Structure 1
């Protein structure tokens, strides 16, 4: 009894000091998700918090497949557009929830120069390279390095991109770490190291409908806030002109909460015409930061679900789902159409390797790349 009493006392002291946790706050589990045509197995990892928030990640593309979130009544829905099955992610790619790289967004003409040498990338967006071009990070199976339950559930995925992959220089060892804490904050950290100078710009391409994917309403009535006084206008091919234009007095001013649909059809604004809606990078007032800071807030008034996007990066690409044209059948047999969801992608600016005035996307040996972002879920009352 004396030994048991001492053990109990030691456990109580450890709990009070935070050495032990009274219960696992978030679970991490994995299961088979299918197989590619070449026989490569794909894994599905689920991170589950106590408050009803959960995230499912596929090792194919390090893809965020599901993000379950409760509304103000406690009803839990999946707030991500996407597919139910691995086969659709392979056969009908549309960047739903994937990890994009080596370079997220567009590079003009698929060309950039480093140290006097010009590199040519595949052109997969008319005259430009988009999201890495060719076989980007979204179209490979990542290795599941580790998963762990605890106060913060964690899944670590890795991928090695060889020198010359899709035209990019340098062998790159990339890591994506997903974390989910007991409050329901989903963190995503992108890290990469290279053996020769290259450019890297990684992000997640989740497309959100905070009313729940497949809802009868579009996401265009969501209230959006972006703390950015300037954005980067684009040409007709959606490449930044190099200008940083003020949002004040324009349909690009989201510094106060505003319905997305306001200004969405303003054909007098040439930028809206170029993007067929919003498909633009916002220069965040905070710039590059050491820890993630607010980049956007998205609220669905009907359900009360709120998403805050935090990032260490200087830019946020806001895409209003303009190319969802009714040809893709998603989760639960839902036919996705224009405006059914939006993307809020924190990243370096598009085409930064060709704009010396933009924050540099260059990564050198011994100076690893790191981008930390958070999807913070809550409910308005």
Structure 2
């Protein structure tokens, strides 16, 4: 096991965690961005399973949020505003009239303080950041830490902890795009996903949640028994069409399984299980990607990766039936998501 720190620009450092099995995770202090994850296939070939830029400086803009920590609030906020404790808070309109992934002042643009650590069976980084009252339009001085831990059994744990001196919305997530084919050999069309969810949140034509919960039964959104992602890469079903011929939807977990989601690639034999204490997740299948970006293994393209954005729902700021994201002043926000990699049996 080892931790390697390499300066990659005048201001940024990339840290690479390598466990005893050879799995490696590379993380930037800028944006807390996961740039690479190397995991073995069934023949023990180590290959990258996330989307990342070939030129490290391209993360400065990063319009697709590759690998980034998202906060204060991940997702879209309708009308770029919300009411809290009788006050209206106006945010940056950075996607039409709406607010996406906390705008230009989001955590994906922060330079985080990094503290490496190592134990007998794991190693990792604790990233720390302070967001001042009013930053991005959000109330409260927020202190946040995110800990990435890589274990020797190929589990990547992400622990989020935060507090605020004012009541404020908070919904943190990681925005990695996964592709288990290895080194982007194919799109995720033929990769199978299973999700512990019997309902998802309807979107309008601006991809804003309407507040309506739709049963997944007899739709391309029924992943309870597992299905190919490509079955929803079409414009035959209205909700897939709205999202650009794929998925960009919040799934509410049923909490009937420890694994809330599972991604499998039969060609490589890789699989990734998602465990979390969050109430749901947005699954996004890279519907907006085109061939304009140069990634580590070649040009980007539509459906090249899938995001599992475990989080509460920002729609709760406008719809009472969504999982709440309001953190009370003085309380501690604490949550964990685990990405567990293994080989299919």
TM-score by length of structure 2 reads: 0.96
Residue 227 of structure 2 corresponds to 258
Residue 379 of structure 1 corresponds to 343
Residue 78 of structure 2 corresponds to 108
Measure the CA separation in 1 of the matches of 2:331 and 2:146: 17
Q: Confirm or deny that 1:225 pairs with 2:189.
A: no
**Which of 307, 314, 323 is the equivalent residue of 2:288?**
323
The superposition leaves residues 76-124 of structure 1 with CA deviations (integer Å, 9 ceiling, x where unpaired) of 0010001133311114442001000000011001111110001011011
Aligned residues: 344
Q: After the TM superposition, which segments of 4 or more aligned residues of structure 1 sit over 4 Å from their partners?
A: none
Measure the CA separation in 2 of the matches of 1:86 and 1:358: 37
The superposition leaves residues 250-308 of structure 1 with CA deviations (integer Å, 9 ceiling, x where unpaired) of 1110001211111321x232111111111101001029xxxx94221000110000011
Measure the CA separation in 2 of the matches of 1:320 and 1:237: 17
Residue 303 of structure 1 corresponds to 268
The superposition leaves residues 201-234 of structure 1 with CA deviations (integer Å, 9 ceiling, x where unpaired) of 000000011011331x211100110010000011
Alignment of 1:20-59 (within 5 A): 26-35=1-10, 41-59=11-29
CA contact (8 A) 2:171 2:314 kept: no
Residue 65 of structure 2 corresponds to 95
CA contact (8 A) 1:228 1:283 kept: yes
Tell me, what secondary structure is at the counterpart of 1:351? Answer: helix
Residue 121 of structure 2 corresponds to 151
**Which of 296, 305, 315 is the equivalent residue of 1:341?**
305
**Which of 277, 286, 307 is the equivalent residue of 1:312?**
277
Measure the CA separation in 2 of the matches of 1:297 and 1:92: 27
Measure the CA separation in 2 of the matches of 1:174 and 1:27: 26
Tell me, what secondary structure is at the counterpart of 1:261? Answer: helix
**Which of 153, 165, 168 is the equivalent residue of 2:135?**
165
**Which of 256, 259, 281 is the equivalent residue of 1:294?**
259
The superposition leaves residues 184-203 of structure 1 with CA deviations (integer Å, 9 ceiling, x where unpaired) of 10000111110111000000
CA contact (8 A) 1:214 1:331 kept: no
Measure the CA separation in 1 of the matches of 2:159 and 2:325: 16
Measure the CA separation in 2 of the matches of 1:160 and 1:293: 33
Residue 218 of structure 2 corresponds to 249
Q: Confirm or deny that 1:355 pairs with 2:325.
A: no
Give the superposed CA RMSD.
Answer: 1.5
Residue 281 of structure 1 corresponds to 250
Structure 2 gaps, min length 5:
none
Q: Confirm or deny that 1:80 pairs with 2:45.
A: no
Residue 175 of structure 2 corresponds to 205
Q: Given the superposition, is the C-alpha separation of residues 231 and 91 from structure 1 closer, same or farther in structure 2, using an over 3 Å criterion?
A: closer
Measure the CA separation in 1 of the matches of 2:116 and 2:52: 25
CA contact (8 A) 1:202 1:371 kept: no
TM-score by length of structure 1 reads: 0.87
Measure the CA separation in 1 of the matches of 2:126 and 2:198: 35
Structure 1 gaps, min length 5:
1-25, 36-40
Residue 145 of structure 1: how far off its partner (Å) = 3.1
CA contact (8 A) 1:278 1:320 kept: yes
Residue 146 of structure 1: how far off its partner (Å) = 3.7
Measure the CA separation in 1 of the matches of 2:258 and 2:314: 20
Measure the CA separation in 2 of the matches of 1:320 and 1:112: 28
Residue 344 of structure 1: how far off its partner (Å) = 1.1
